[in-house]
Chains A and B, each alone.
Chain A
Amino acid sequence: MHKAHREPTDHFPQPDYLRIENVTKMYDDFAALDDVSLTIERGEFICFLGPSGCGKTTLLRIIAGLEEQTQGLIIQNGEDVSNQPPNMRDFGIVFQSYALFPNLSVEKNIAYGLENLPRVQRPSRKAMMARVTELIETVGLQDHTKKYPAQLSGGQQQRVALARALACEPGLLLLDEPLSALDAKVRQHLRTEIHKLQRTLGVTTIMVTHDQEEALAMADRIVVMSNGKIEQIGTPTEIYQRPATPFVAEFVGNINLIDAVKDQDGALGLDQISYTGAQTKVCLRPEDIICRPKSQAAPDMFEAYIQDVEFLGAFYRTHLSVPGIGAKTIMADIGCHEFVKLEASLGDKIYVRLLPERLRTFDAEKEKVEVSA
């Protein structure tokens, strides 16, 4: 089988598969991407995560060559492809809208790229059929080969799009919000499958998503973006447990951001009235707040009042007012069993402990991160 991607040249010997250097994209005066640099290793699964308008899709399209960057370099497999049109680059792409050819059957859709290869590269009829059959089996659509896209469900259509993108064995797989148009159940199922498929094939993959759960579940590394800039690059655990900026902390998962002051010794005061020092922000995930009934009060605990309770199936999300740490209410997630033990209802007083090893602070001025405690 023909291998579509080019051999690495010896001009820029790089261990990395894809290097994005100082890429900027201007629309008139608006910078959709502002000096973005990033390195991706061969075989990695990368997620671009961010709210809509953060530039993640623009970056993906620039990597594909579908948009032209205003400045900067794209180096793929050791070759500078910055100025190559898309059809000279080595990638397969899957869109949110599937973008299947509506008048071609499933197998014709998948074979489209193979059939239109230049004569010298085109596999024989037989090899092509074998390849298409193999792909159809990989994505589990054996019973649908002759059907047209309109006759398939959304999940099935996206499998066809995936198989079509993989048909020519690209060195890079680009997924532009591939799961966003699907129902929750199908989405989860396909998520697992794409993940598994990527592991087996080992193809370097970039997926754009605004769904943090998807990114956490699938990615080797996540690139969190906001306003055309990279906020943080890291493994899912790093991103979730050690967010680099308040933006990342708030965007990924749920979090409590509490105003606080820090004195010269670095001690934190959550009660802003009794302490003086530099303004700072403390953040803490709702699951890192331990709740105890009135009877188990301890010196390292704050008293809290239950303002609101949402039942979310596996746990209860409570909104608590804590007089000791200012006016804002905070969220605490309490497991079902724990919640029963609290024996508390709306308005009742309980006691909470903020796990110190999970507390993180951001300087209010620099918004830079420091690990406290």
Chain B
Amino acid sequence: MTSAVLRPAAPLRKAVQKTGPDVWIMRAMLYFAAGFLLLFVLMPLWAMLSKSFTDGDGLYIGLANYFDYFATPALSNSIYNSITISLLVTVIVVPMAFLYAYGLTRTCMRFKGIYKALAMAPLLAPSLLPAISLVYLFGNQGIFKDVLMGESIYGPIGIVLGMCFYVFPHALLILLTALSTSDARLYEAAQALGAKPTKMFLSVTLPGVRYGLISAVFVVFTLVITDFGVPKVIGGQYNVLATDIYKQVVGQQNFNMGAVVGMILLVPACLAFFADQMAQRRQVSQLSSRAVPYQPKIERGRDRLFLIYCSFVSLFILMIVGIAAWASLIKFWPYDFTLVLKNYDFNAIEPNGWQSYTNSLEFAALTALFGSLFIFTTAYLVEKGRKHNWLRNGLHALAMVPLAVPGMVLGLSYIFFFNAPDNPLNFLYSTMAILVLSTVAHFYTVSHLTAITALKQIDPEIEAVSQSLKVPFYKTFFKVTLPVCLPTVLDIAIYLFVNAMTTVSAVVFLYAPDTKLASIAVLNMDDVGDTAPAAAMAMMIFMTALAVRLLYSFMTRKMLRRTQAWRFK
């Protein structure tokens, strides 16, 4: 063959790999996921932003709404109120959670497992529940009303107390992680250098958990400033941003002013989000693989002190839940303390009756099922996909956005976007589907990050090996990646289920009469003065979430033994 001889030297052209079906499928899936986040996060926010610049007739009026807002003290005072409350709760909860976490990780106190479980209880209840309990304890007919010495629980005191209950486990989880990743060798070195306990705490412990503390501060601040349930029930005349949105939109039908409040509520949430991101970026893994985990030594005095402290905190948590449970079973507070079940007869009290509860079950199950599969698959494409780097990086960035968007803001922006008559997705409005989609979007970030963390732990060359064996990526996904990550997928599903059961914020704007949820029913019943049935429904939510959690840990223990046999040596 002479052609070979005549062939010129390697041409200087840019090499581009041919695209196989693998890559096409991957690309289609990536576009689908990006489309979801655009449609259900970014575009609604855009719709809300433009709404804040128009008047009631849709005419562009520039910043007029904002000028209006700041010219009305009744409205703009809420900014001050919201920030005050958030700072107060942060200052109270973060040190409390730190001490609690310290007791659980750095002492030899007894019953650690029980105390950890008790502190997680607030995660299973809607934030309406602590507020209702506080009404029973300190309200006009509360059993401990006198403790407040004439002050009213309806207002800042009630909001702060309720928030402390609601955000405590969130701060605790972050600090537990921070405190449990410590290197014993640092303490040994400090001891060898003759450091005293106080010095050791200041020079080793605190620097080690610095970023955990920063993270906890921002998470608590954001949760408090965006929460709607607590101030709605117990806020009284004390206005905060989250209740203002609701009042403007549902009460006064002033959508444009609602949009303005929504934009203002986005500001602190976004600031906290970026500050936290920056802090986390600076936290390079403090724990090398050679680190030796810290093992606390027995110190009777200290251990007992922490036991007493943790008992005190868990007692408060138990009391809040217990009061709600008790009040839901009482015939007529505070006159007739006979235990009855009549408050659970929702069909007789509320137009939707038990349907709200079954709706919630359906809603939470759908959210858990579709949410966990969709979020995990997307995370897989982002982390393990090939090529499309800008698309994968962009998707990862998009997945962070929901964390900075308060539920109230997301819900309101859905009204603007999906209720617009010219939106082809208008048919979704007031269906179960939009509730599920909004909730998946609302809780997207944490689920996404959980999935990414799990995927990062799998050898990155597994995909390369299966390519060399000519196995398409989706086969390896179903045969290896998904089975290996099954515990994580289930964790995400449970997280979504519990949050769907308890959430009020986004869905309060989106439910229709026949898709009313249990948490909304709590809100409505409390609104019209049916406090006991509201407590009963809140307890139904709590017990359902608790049952699902317990069932899950029981089932996974059995299932893990069967499907995850390869994990054990």
Contact = CB atoms under 8 A, between A and B. Distances in A.
Interface of A: 10-14, 21-22, 64-66, 68-73, 82-88, 91-93, 95, 97-104, 112-113, 116-117, 148-151, 164-165, 167-168, 170
Interface in B280-306: none
Contacts of A99: 459, 461-462, 464-465
A146 to B, nearest CB: 11
25 contacts: A22-B12, A66-B464, A68-B16, A70-B14, A71-B10, A71-B12, A71-B15, A72-B15, A73-B10, A83-B15, A83-B17, A86-B464, A87-B468, A93-B465, A99-B464, A102-B567, A103-B480, A104-B479, A113-B470, A116-B475, A148-B565, A150-B568, A164-B465, A164-B469, A170-B468
Sort chain B's interface into a size bin: 35 or more
Given A12-B4, A22-B10, A104-B479, 17 more contacts: A11-B3, A13-B1, A21-B10, A22-B12, A65-B467, A71-B10, A71-B12, A71-B13, A85-B19, A86-B468, A87-B22, A95-B465, A98-B459, A99-B464, A116-B469, A117-B470, A164-B465
A102 B566 contact: yes
Contact of B566 (A72, A92, A103): A103
A85 B20 contact: yes
Interface in B460-482: 461-462, 464-472, 475, 479-480
Contacts of B566: 102-104, 148-150
Interface string B1-33: 101100101101111111110110000000000
- Chief secondary structure at chain A's binding surface: loop
B484 interface: yes
Contact of B464 (A14, A22, A93): A93
Interface string B206-226: 000000000000000000000
Given A12-B7, A150-B566, A85 B18 contact: yes
Nearest to B16: A83
A131 to B, nearest CB: 14
A112 B467 CA distance: 11
A73 B14 CA distance: 10
Report, nearest first, the 10 A-B pairs whose CB atoms are least far apart: A113-B469, A148-B566, A99-B461, A21-B10, A86-B467, A116-B471, A22-B10, A95-B461, A99-B459, A93-B468
Interface of B: 1, 3-4, 7, 9-10, 12-20, 22-23, 458-459, 461-462, 464-472, 475, 479-480, 483-484, 564-569
A87 B467 contact: yes
Among A14, A93, A149, max chain B CB count under 10 A is at: A93
B468 A64 contact: yes
Nearest to A116: B471
B262 to A, nearest CB: 41
Contacts of A82: 15
Given A12-B4, A65-B17, A71-B14, A104 B480 contact: yes
Contacts of B461: 95, 97, 99
Contacts of B468: 64, 86-87, 91-93, 165, 170
Contacts of A167: 469
B459 A10 contact: no
B6 to A, nearest CB: 11
B465 to A, nearest CB: 5
Contacts of B564: 103
A73 B3 CA distance: 17
Given A71-B15, A83-B16, A10 B465 contact: no
A95 B479 CA distance: 20
A102 B10 CA distance: 42
A151 B16 CA distance: 41
A87 B20 contact: yes
Nearest to A64: B468
A192 B461 CA distance: 25
Interface centre among B4, B10, B16 (most CB of A within 10 A): B10
